[in-house]
Amino acid sequence: MQVVVGYNTNAAAAEAVVDTLEGAGHRVAAMPMTDSQALTEVAADIAADHDAIDVLVNCAGKTKPVPHHDLDQLNDELIDDIFATNWRGPFASVRAFCSLLQAAEAPVIVNISSVAAVTGQGSNVAYCASKAALDSLTRSLARALGPKIRVVSVSPGWVLGEYAERMPTEILDRQRDATPLARLATADDVGAAVSASIRDLPFTTGSIITVDGGRPLGTS
């Protein structure tokens, strides 16, 4: 595949991803998920060079740790900001790229969700709700865009990376100890689920594919 790596403000990070990809023809594009017009313009730019796109992965996300009992700290501005990125953004992305997806032979949309959508446990109440809304969007679009376009959610639990690195070690240890597979997910685990959704599950749509090591089964 030729991959377009979207970014919000950190073009250098997107370029670093492109540098790791095998093959040629990859590029970066500014794709702020809260700017629907910008997404439409990127789609038009891609359409100038390609007749179709095979896969759209909506992986942008935003949150801020807020204790679930602290209702005042979860103010309207933060709620709107989270939903604008985590739900409205993926919908706007699908809307912008839908015609290019329709032109592909077997197109797939993958939305990166979270087990917080099901457990109600996460960085804050609005984040959990936004991911539940994203899973609902996955099911709705799977019905609305089928049979041509498949739509799935890949739903990780804790993933080792930049966000987890900001957390206290004892929190990560507690999550790991309560996970039946006795470790936390890696970016490669999530990538494998995305790849399987695209390549290996041709009769799967509207499904939520978890990548959590069985964490909801463990003790809290």
Query: CB of 159 within 8 A of CB of 187?
Result: yes
**Cα(18)–Cα(33) distance, rounded to whole angstroms?**
20
Amino acid residing at 151: V
Q: Count the helices and strands in the chain (H runs, E runs).
A: 9, 6
Query: Of 19, 24, 20, which is closest to residue 1 (Cα–Cα)?
Result: 24
Only one residue has tokens 């039946």, namely 180
Structure token digits, residue 54: 């095979």
Catalytic site positions: 127
Distances in Å between the Cα of 33 and the Cα atoms of 39, 85, 96, 112 are 7, 6, 11, 14
Alpha carbon 177 to its chain's center = 26
